[in-house]
Structure 1
């Protein structure tokens, strides 16, 4: 059985597909509709997400989008996050809070204030102290697939699986319990050596951001989504998918569409991701994503089933006996 927990929320086999709502405290974030710059604004957004059925809220104090200049100081990142973590824990003591950071000092302070999960977009490879901080606090971690440098000799799915294995090994060797690890294939992210948030260099540009001319970045991301179940099975861990408003969607719909105009593409791919095996979806739009996730969850019951088996599963689901 593939199962783990994010805080008090179990994720994986036998569980509903979990919904992670994104709230960014970083004005530099690529989707401005997700940004809240006041504590009151964050609490109001959390109120709305809770009413819409969110399971986890992911807070970002610094944008980690690899295609923009977004680096801020540790003190600034902490200054944005700390008052919000405290306010949300006061307002919703049982709400699972995830912190989107790769910096150990930021994680340490947020965990001290009551955060439950660290969502590390470097897969524990960006800060050598991060894995120990997570282990010492006994909390959950989401590790993203990030190669240190491009491994051009392998296909995309194999490269992602290998990168995730490295991160899972780091976690386990540092004392993080396996049932507190969730994986993320890293839709929209490239190798760490090409990431300006990590290197301080220029933002990634061009079609072949993974170093392989067979795979422009939008086909790379699409391949990962369609192989969600393989990645999940190879690692034996629950998988979280985050596609909300990301740039590859603009290529797939084949028209110019800024992040504000990618909602329908986002929820379409979220439903497909669930159908392909996702255990959790990270979204900027909990209300809109919720129904798409539930549809994907229902149709997934029919995969590799006969028509009668499919019907029985859907009847049980609709009647509340699944």
Structure 2
């Protein structure tokens, strides 16, 4: 596999981190280029729709755009690299051309997709498997030198709900992230490239998700920043007795406040404007903690 050009080589005047990085909770806007995502499947399949949504999210305060062309909801079918790339590359290229300064993440667990996305202008790779699903992923990230989100998960979309068994979910999620980080470091990835995601909803019950949110401070490892993705998820619907994902915005906002309080670096959301306002208000109520060495 040929090595992709480094993002810093393409745009040497920019760092691959949002403005205010590690001094506030930044926002990652979700753009699902899929027909079957759990809350907005099919809305952004067309290139013009995806580009328009990118423009809206950037205007509303998104610091990073997260483009995904493979649904990872429970029960989703895997489409493979060719179909992922067919969906992903046209909008990615258009968004990069229209918004040359935007930070773009690609949500994939396949190295060929990540490689092509980096070549097309992506800045981050967001791998829900933390390199488990494709052994070529971590060496690729090491070569690219780009930020990578390592998420805690078990199994795949079809098996993860049966794997939500923990004696101590906070400890075991942390240990899982430590293990994947050690594997990443052995592959040549630097610590300062890594972002951790505890994987809310991925092989976790509603109660386990709530335990993770209550114990966010226990999940950090030194200076590795945390990303949390609660947006519209099923555990919020369970708490609020709300079956419609799009109606879970206020539950998501409550989680956003908790993430701000805990000093989470990135909040991954569908509803950018209200979460941007929520985080601004939350930031006035408590001081964001200093990053730990």
Q: TM-score scaled to structure 1, two decimals?
A: 0.78
Please name the residue that 1:126 is paired with.
133
Distance in 2 separating the partners of 1:248 and 1:68: 16
Q: 2:239 aligns with which of 243, 249, 252?
A: 252
Please name the residue that 2:225 is paired with.
238
Please name the residue that 1:57 is paired with.
65
Displacement of 1:177: 1.6
Displacement of 1:53: 1.4
Q: Which has the larger radius of gyration?
A: 1
Q: Are the aligned partners of 1:7 and 1:116 in contact in 2 as well (CA < 8 Å)?
A: yes
Answer yes or no: is 1:221 the counterpart of 2:209.
Answer: yes
Q: Are the aligned partners of 1:226 and 1:273 in contact in 2 as well (CA < 8 Å)?
A: no
Q: Are the aligned partners of 1:20 and 1:57 in contact in 2 as well (CA < 8 Å)?
A: yes
Q: Cα–Cα, structure 1 residues 72 and 281, in superposed 2: closer, same or farther, change >3 Å? A: same
Q: 1:299 aligns with which of 272, 279, 285?
A: 285
**1:128-166 CA deviation, whole Å, 9 max, x = no partner?**
000011111111100001256969674110000000001
Please name the residue that 1:181 is paired with.
194
Q: Are the aligned partners of 1:11 and 1:279 in contact in 2 as well (CA < 8 Å)?
A: no
Q: 1:290 aligns with which of 240, 256, 276?
A: 276
Please name the residue that 1:84 is paired with.
91
**1:191-243 CA deviation, whole Å, 9 max, x = no partner?**
xxxxxxxxxxxxxxxxxxx5xxxxxx1110001011111111x3541101100
Task: Structure 1: state its 5+ residue gaps.
Answer: 191-209, 211-216, 304-322
Q: Are the aligned partners of 1:6 and 1:117 in contact in 2 as well (CA < 8 Å)?
A: no
Answer yes or no: is 1:24 the counterpart of 2:11.
Answer: no
Q: How many residues align?
A: 270
Secondary structure of 1:32's counterpart equals: coil
Answer yes or no: is 1:144 the counterpart of 2:151.
Answer: yes
RMSD over equivalenced CA pairs, Å? 2.2
Moved over 6 A (4+): none
Q: Are the aligned partners of 1:23 and 1:35 in contact in 2 as well (CA < 8 Å)?
A: no
Secondary structure of 1:20's counterpart equals: strand
Q: 2:46 aligns with which of 31, 38, 46?
A: 38
Distance in 1 separating the partners of 2:265 and 2:112: 29
